[in-house]
Amino acid sequence: MNIKRIGLLTFFLLFLIPISAFAEIVSTPEPHDYRNGLLDDPYIIKKNTLPKETYDNDLTTFTSREDMLKDILEIEFIHPVNINGIYLYAYSSVSHNFITIYYFEDDEVKEYKYTGKKTIKEYITLDYKNVFKIELDSRKALYEIDFFGSYNKNDEIPTIPENVENVEYQTTENSISLNYDLPDEFDHIEIDVNGQTYETTENSYTISDLDDDTTYNITIKTVLNEIKSDGITIEAKTKEKEEPPPEKPEDLQNVTDLEIETTYDRVDLSWKNPNTKYYDYTKIYRKDLESKRTTFNIFSAKTVYADGYDPIFETNGTYFADLSIEPEQEYEYKLTTVYENLESSGVTVKTATPKPPIVEIDGKLPFTVEDLLKSGNGLFYLTAPFLLLALAFLLVPRLRELMINSFRSPVTTNGNYTRIEREQRIPRQPREQRQPRLYMREQREPRQPRTPREFR
């Protein structure tokens, strides 16, 4: 009796509970592994172009990198899926974005891109709801992949509007005109320009009140039943504002950022040319001012209208070195711009050259190692005779005494060698005092003449 009552109560409870309460299906319980994923559920898959080896629950089978590069692989679901994670076992020599998940958020289609490491074999935790499509652009050898999460069989994927196609645009100084092909089904088109949104139902739209010479990022989305497409983004730049041609010197732009560096033998000028099409070249003038003995280096740029300058150079570059200057002299330079024989008022700068250094080394030694060796050898060549003469006066007497003493020493033989014995010196006896000599010249007889020799 009790069993029958329990059975009846259970039947009524099942009848009263809505079927939707059992509609949610979870792909696999914890812990996650590569088996029992969403790709193994035939009731959720609408389209799957992945090779069977990539989700066959066998880690030994794989699809080569060359096969994976042929096409972009797609997975479409019948119902919106809440993705909780991905199991991935893949190998490659490079890292890149290769998994793109498309999902709904606030009635907009959004993307998540996964950048895979070179080699990966792990479960990746994610949290993306209302996923309707996944794309793989893989450059990896793929061993196993599967997605895990839950879905509700009563939920349907809304119709996603297609994007506009063949977008073209034309620009002016302050506007961008768009032209495109509309999809078959749509409610309206949303155009986002740097955060500002415009709506239209036409196949063209002109965005006005823009800044000239400025780049804008424009995103065009299709809206259908409050669902927005992922959109197409383009980049467009407005044209540069046209300047009126100059009619007088004051209309021309002068050079800017004029700088000067001065030494006793040169003056270096640098500047920036005007960024305009109304410019041909820069003309450089110089004026010699009174000499100035104090060393200084000042420069200041100003606009002048005075004459008295001598033209020294013309260039469309941004640098000039004046090497025809004198030390301790003050100079003034003027730079003007020229366009079609029209010359600007110009910009000037003053400077003064310092005294030349006593020895100019310019941060380096004025001689090389070779010069030093040559100079040293030359000095030795000049002084060597005098040095040898001085040594001769010192050494010759000693050598002479040494040679004389060597001849005075007797030589005796003892066994197998010869020994020079030193003579023992006998002390000298004191000399007798000599008597002074008396010189008396004797009377010599005259010499008899010689008899000649006989001829032989």
CB atoms within 10 A of CB 117: 14
Contacts of 60 by beta carbon, 8 Å cutoff, 6+ apart = 143
Tokens 């065009």 -> residue: 220
Mean pLDDT across 426-441? 62
Tokens 């020079």 -> residue: 420
* pLDDT tens digits along 119-161: 888 888 889 999 999 988 766 788 888 999 999 988 888 888 8
Global confidence as pTM:
0.46
DSSP letter assigned to residue 396: H
Tokens 């305009």 -> residue: 276
For the chain, the residue count is 456
Most confident of 34-38, 39-43, 217-221: 217-221
Q: 3-class DSSP state for residue 400?
A: helix
Tokens coding 184:
């078959």
CB atoms within 10 A of CB 352: 20
Taking alpha carbons only, the member of 53, 49, 43, 131 closest to residue 86 is 131
Taking alpha carbons only, the member of 379, 397, 399 closest to residue 387 is 379
Proportion of the chain above pLDDT 90, given as a percent? 33
Given a contact cutoff of 8 angstroms between Cβ atoms, the answer to whether 65 and 93 are in contact is no
Tokens 């200084």 -> residue: 296
Mean pLDDT across 279-303? 67
* pLDDT tens digits along 360-416: 555 666 667 787 787 878 787 788 888 888 888 888 888 888 888 877 655 544 555
pLDDT of residue 336: 94
User: What is the C-alpha separation between 294 and 291, in angstroms, rounded?
Assistant: 9
Task: Say whether pLDDT at 24 is over 80.
Answer: no
Most confident of 68-77, 326-335, 427-436: 326-335
Task: Say whether pLDDT at 359 is over 60.
Answer: yes
Tokens 């060549």 -> residue: 381
Q: Which residue segments constitute the domains of the chain, with CATH numbers given?
A: 21-152 (2.60.120), 165-237 (2.60.40.10), 249-352 (2.60.40.10)
Given a contact cutoff of 8 angstroms between Cβ atoms, the answer to whether 289 and 331 are in contact is yes
Given a contact cutoff of 8 angstroms between Cβ atoms, the answer to whether 291 and 330 are in contact is yes
For residue 128, the cross-strand partners are 83
| Side-by-side strand order, sheet with 256-262 | 256-262, 267-272, 319-322
DSSP letter assigned to residue 99: E
Tokens coding 18:
């809505």
Tokens coding 234:
């383009």
Q: 3-class DSSP state for residue 255?
A: coil
pLDDT of residue 299: 46
